[in-house]
Each structure stands twice: as structure tokens, then as C-alpha cells.
Chains A and B, each alone.
Chain A
Amino acid sequence: MTDLGAMYIGAGLAAIGVGLAALGVGNVFGSFLEGALRNPGAADGQQGRLFIGFAASELLGLIAFVVAILILFVVKN
């Protein structure tokens, strides 16, 4: 396996991490929606925390994306 081939495989593996973060973000919004449907009056007050949770879980997925970009565009072959 050449170095370039290994780099591309590594970038592809890093992109799997982005898919895992998608599960996390979906979990955050799904839990919020489930709770909001049970108690709609309390939903508007918790919207701030919804976006904080979204930001935190999205950040980890974006870090996986950054690893892929680093491998593709920054590592010198």
C-alpha cells in the first residue's frame, strides 16, 4: 500500500466519526422533541439548552471532519 493510499484510507476512516456525531446530534434533538411533546408549555424555556447540547455534540463531529481535512490537505506526501 502506498503512502498516498494509506492517507486516503485514513481520511475515509476519519469521516466515519462524522457519521457517529450525526447519531449524537439526532439524539439531542430527538430527546428534546420527545420531552416537548409530553410537556409543550415547558419546551420554549429549554430551547437555550437544546442549542447548547447541539453545539457540543456537533463540535465533536466537526473535529472528526477537521482530522480528515488535515490528512487530505495538510500532510505532505
Chain B
Amino acid sequence: MAGKIDPMEQFLVEPVLGRHIELFGYDVSFTNSALFMVVVFALLFVFMWGGMKRQLVPGRWQVAAESVVGFIDNMMQVNIGPEGKKFAPYIFSIFMFILFANLVGVLPLAIVPGLHTFAVTSHITVTAVLAFLSFGIVLAVGFWKHGLHFFSLFVPHGAPGWLMPVIIPVEFVSFMVRPFSLGLRLFVAMTAGHILLEVFGSFVVQGLNAGGGLGILVSILSFVMIIGVSALELLVCAIQAYVFALLTSLYLNDAVHLH
């Protein structure tokens, strides 16, 4: 066999221009991850710019942009209430960035040789930053609004007093785990989906290389599986973006209305 197909090789972050650029000892080269973040930003910019025409009777693009904004506004209203309106821009940005980044990563552009899209959110470095950003905003809002009374979040009312030494550490740990779980969920969902697609792709290639009836059969079946898994991946991309935004809004609700 000529070479083993490594499913983890698609996640390598490499400089786009072929060589690293060093600045004060830090590697600040423009990587493929940064390139696709710029691509996601450009797509988002085009989408919102096309949707902000402000016609009285909106065309289809404007309706699409308005419906996403309305969806996020409704989510804020349901989960946080009237004070949620001021968080809608942040939640909208997070939701749209993660959605577009996930979808760009699944695009099958590799039919054009060399044009492999890179899933920006398949790295814990990216998703952990987004999750800690959300968590930081939750903490900032909580302490700004309630001061030190924010710590009463760990004391659910209605619990008997003798249970407090057990409940407070458990609640504290479950609170501190939130940013890690938020980042980890998105990262592993995307990574697992891409590894699955790559494994089935490697089956197609190795089946064709093996030749014979069985090899062709394996290739065809794996190709059908790739189609099915890609459809599932599209769903997972949308669900993971929605879950990230939903959980952030729930954590904000915890910070704004301490229970």
C-alpha cells in the first residue's frame, strides 16, 4: 500500500504562504485557520450587507437576514426576558460565526484539486476562546449587576440548610465547568464529524485501489455513507451553533436573574 491515510492530517494548521512569520518570538504567520476565518467573515459581511437594504416590502435576502435576527431576538426574549435585548448582538454574532464556520468546513470544495476547506471550529483553541468569551461576559454581567451577591447563585433557595456544605461545592464545580463544556461540545462534534467523513473517504480510495468486485462494492457503499453522513453533518452544524447560542443565553439568564 502506497501510504496510510491519516484522518487527523486534515486538522493540521499550517502557514498559507509556506513559511512561518516570527514576531518577538511568537509565530504570527497567516495560517489556513486564519484564512478560513477571514472567508467566514467575508461571507457573513456579504450576507448582512445584502440583507440590510431596508425596503418597506422586503425582498428574499432581506427576509432571510431579518428572520435570523428575529430568531435570535425571540430566543433572547424567551430565555432572558426584556433585559435580553441588549445581548442579542453578541449572541447573533456568536451564532452566525459558528454556523458559517461549521458550514464552510463541511463544504465539499475538494473536487477542485487543492481547494480543501478547513473547519475553523474543529480546533479547541478556537472554540475555547469563544466559550471563555461567553463565560467572561456572563461573569462580567453578573458581577456588574449584583456585586458580591452574585455568589448567591450557588445557593438554590428551597434547599434545606444542612445540605449546603454538599450543594455549594457541587454547584460551584458545575458552574466552573460551563466554559469547558461549551467549547468542548462544539469542538468534539465538529472533529468527530470530520474524522468520520475522512474515514469513509479513505475507504472509497482504498477500495478503488484494491480493485476487483469487492473493492468497487466497498467504494460505492462508502460513497453512499458519505452522502448520508454529510447530510447528518449539515444538521449537526446547525444544531451545534444553535446549542452554543442557547446555552450562552441560559447562562446569561442565570447571571441577570440569579434564579
Contacts and interface: CB of A to CB of B under 8 A. Distances in A.
Nearest to A58: B185
B78 A59 contact: no
Interface in B228-248: 239, 242-243, 246-247
Interface in B144-201: 181, 184-185, 188-189, 192
Contact of A62 (B78, B192, B242, B250): B192
A51 B79 CA distance: 13
Contact of A52 (B8, B184, B247): B247
Contacts of A65: 188, 192
Nearest to B249: A48
A52 B242 contact: no
Interface in A37-54: 48, 51-52, 54
A48 B250 CA distance: 11
Given A48-B79, A73-B8, A62 B188 contact: yes
Interface string B85-128: 00000000000000000000000000000000000000000000
Contacts of B185: 55, 58-59, 62
A55 B182 CA distance: 9
A51 B243 CA distance: 7
B184 A54 contact: no
A52 B242 CA distance: 10
B246 A51 contact: yes
Contacts of B239: 51, 54
A23 interface: no
A62 B189 contact: yes
Contacts of A52: 243, 246-247, 250
Nearest to B244: A55
A63 interface: yes
Nearest to A18: B192
A51 B189 contact: no
A73 B191 CA distance: 14
A73 B185 CA distance: 19
Interface string A17-49: 000000000000000000000000000000010
A54 B246 CA distance: 12
A48 B249 CA distance: 11
A70 B225 CA distance: 27
Contact of B184 (A48, A63, A73): A63
Given A58-B185, A58-B189, A62-B192, 6 more contacts: A51-B246, A52-B243, A52-B246, A55-B246, A59-B185, A65-B192
15 contacts: A48-B79, A48-B246, A51-B239, A52-B243, A52-B246, A52-B250, A55-B243, A58-B185, A58-B189, A59-B184, A62-B184, A62-B185, A65-B188, A66-B184, A66-B188
5 A-B pairs closest in CB distance = A62-B188, A55-B243, A59-B185, A59-B181, A51-B243
